[in-house]
Chains A and B, each alone.
Chain A
Amino acid sequence: MSIFNPYSRSANQPQQSPDFVSDTKAELDNQSVSGLSYGAGESDTSLETLMGGGVSDFLSQVNLDEGSAGFSKLTPLNSGIEYLSLGDGTVSGGSALPSRGWSDDLCYGTGTLYLSGLAIGGAWGFVSGARTPAKNFKIKFNGILNNMTRRGPFLGNSLGVLGLYYNSLYAIIGKIRDDTKDFYTSIYAAGTTGLIFRSTKGFKSAIVASIAFSGLMGVYQFVMNRDSIPEFNLKTIKQSA
């Protein structure tokens, strides 16, 4: 439930765990799909018997017009198939890029918030710069640029710092809660973020920011991934009722 689930390409699909099958199972599956039988079934056509009469005799037995059925005589797959091992490195999250741990979460979360803050602040500055009257185009253009470079970094820096706080607190709180990174972890992290962010503005302001941030994060998580929160998943509630 990290911050960059919006990029999820596979949000609506059930998550597929990699399915490792044995060699014989894979061969049997392949045979049933393609309709070809490999060397294991036809032991009499091993390479030795095929090659008995020399190369030209062997080649005359291979009918290339049959397609892959003809080719399969060239490679009697007696030896089984080797598969690439994909088991190394655990990844998590059903987003477009699976997260490789807290540092990935931190970089992507902060980068997303920073760049979106920069873009929104730039647009805000563009609008406010375009509204101010100016004598000619050159002054107008300069005013727009001034406004954009004032508002863009302001909003981007603030959101970036918020992302930095949130994502590092999310990792820390998740660690404290025995590696449970769920709905409540993100709520707690958002609340602590608000507390720290407004801590210099007085106690009351910090509490208000904390409640506001955790409320916003709760709404966001509820909207984005309702189905992975057990308390809000209607299907499981209906089943248990």
Chain B
Amino acid sequence: MRGSDTSRDPCPWVILNDAGGAFCMGAIGGGIWNFIKGSRNSPQGEKFRGAVTAMRTRGPVLGGNFGIWGGMFSTFDCAMKGLRQKEDPWNSIAAGALTGGMLASRGGWKTASVSAVFGGVLLALIEGVGIGISRLTAPSPQQMMPPPPPPPSSS
């Protein structure tokens, strides 16, 4: 569960952390992906140049998409925590739905609501998997030994 993770920083600051982490993830992943794609799509002899050009033009765009998702999600997550005074999976799910809706808001109501449902379902899946993993990895309660039988009374 996100909220109960004590290794994360307190709320307003964690937005910067999330946005930066998501940006790095997207930029590095998108850079590698587009480097390979660019080198495959370029003619012989121009492979390296084409790969670098594709990486430089498309890598940061994916990083930016990831970064705005992460930053906005974290902002809504913090806002939910502040409003509800609670930390549970519903915060993340609502934040995911709001982020999806916000980012697609220029496409009209229909696109925005489809995107919001998609974001909410995505975050619900992530939260569900996280809860499942923590259930599986949690130590099972220790078996208590039964009390020893009373000593046989000698007559």
Interface centre among B16, B53, B60 (most CB of A within 10 A): B16
Proximity bits, B1-21, A CB within 8 Å = 1, else 0: 000000001100101111111
Provide the main secondary structure of the chain A interface. helix
C-alpha gap A67/B15 in the complex (Å): 46
C-alpha gap A152/B68 in the complex (Å): 11
Q: B61 an interface residue at 8 Å Cβ cutoff?
A: yes
The residues in A between 147 and 163 inclusive whose CB is less than 8 angstroms from any CB of B are 149, 153, 156-158, 160-161, 163
C-alpha gap A115/B13 in the complex (Å): 12
The tally of residues in A whose CB lies under 8 Å from a CB in B reads: 26
C-alpha gap A164/B59 in the complex (Å): 12
Contacts of B64 in A (CB 8 A): 114, 153, 156-157, 160
Contacts of B21 in A (CB 8 A): 107, 110-111
Taking the nearest CB of chain B, how far is it from the CB of A149, in angstroms? 8
Whether the Cβ atoms of B27 and A108 lie closer than 8 Å is: no
- In the complex, the chain A residue whose C-beta lies closest to that of B71 is A115
C-alpha gap A39/B64 in the complex (Å): 64
Taking the nearest CB of chain B, how far is it from the CB of A89, in angstroms? 10
A157-B63, A157-B64 are known contacts. Are A110 and B24 too (CB-CB below 8 A)?
A: yes
A-B contact pairs, 24 of them (CB 8 A): A97-B13, A104-B17, A106-B24, A107-B18, A107-B21, A107-B24, A108-B13, A111-B16, A111-B20, A112-B16, A114-B20, A114-B23, A114-B64, A115-B16, A118-B68, A156-B64, A156-B67, A156-B68, A160-B23, A160-B63, A164-B23, A164-B24, A164-B63, A200-B53
Q: A109 an interface residue at 8 Å Cβ cutoff?
A: yes
- In the complex, the chain B residue whose C-beta lies closest to that of A103 is B21
Please list the 7 inter-chain residue pairs (A to B) with the smallest Cβ-Cβ separation, ordered nearest first.
Answer: A111-B20, A110-B20, A111-B16, A157-B60, A107-B20, A111-B19, A157-B64
Contacts of B19 in A (CB 8 A): 110-111, 114-115
Q: B117 an interface residue at 8 Å Cβ cutoff?
A: no
Contacts of A163 in B (CB 8 A): 20
The residues in B between 49 and 72 inclusive whose CB is less than 8 angstroms from any CB of A are 52-53, 56, 59-61, 63-64, 67-68, 71
Whether the Cβ atoms of A200 and B18 lie closer than 8 Å is: no
The tally of residues in B whose CB lies under 8 Å from a CB in A reads: 26
The residues in A between 163 and 190 inclusive whose CB is less than 8 angstroms from any CB of B are 163-164
Contacts of A115 in B (CB 8 A): 15-16, 19, 71
C-alpha gap A39/B106 in the complex (Å): 72
Contacts of A112 in B (CB 8 A): 16, 20
Q: A145 an interface residue at 8 Å Cβ cutoff?
A: yes
Taking the nearest CB of chain A, how far is it from the CB of B71, in angstroms? 6
Contacts of B24 in A (CB 8 A): 106-107, 110, 164
- In the complex, the chain A residue whose C-beta lies closest to that of B16 is A111
Contacts of B13 in A (CB 8 A): 7, 96-97, 108
Contacts of B106 in A (CB 8 A): 145, 149
- In the complex, the chain B residue whose C-beta lies closest to that of A111 is B20
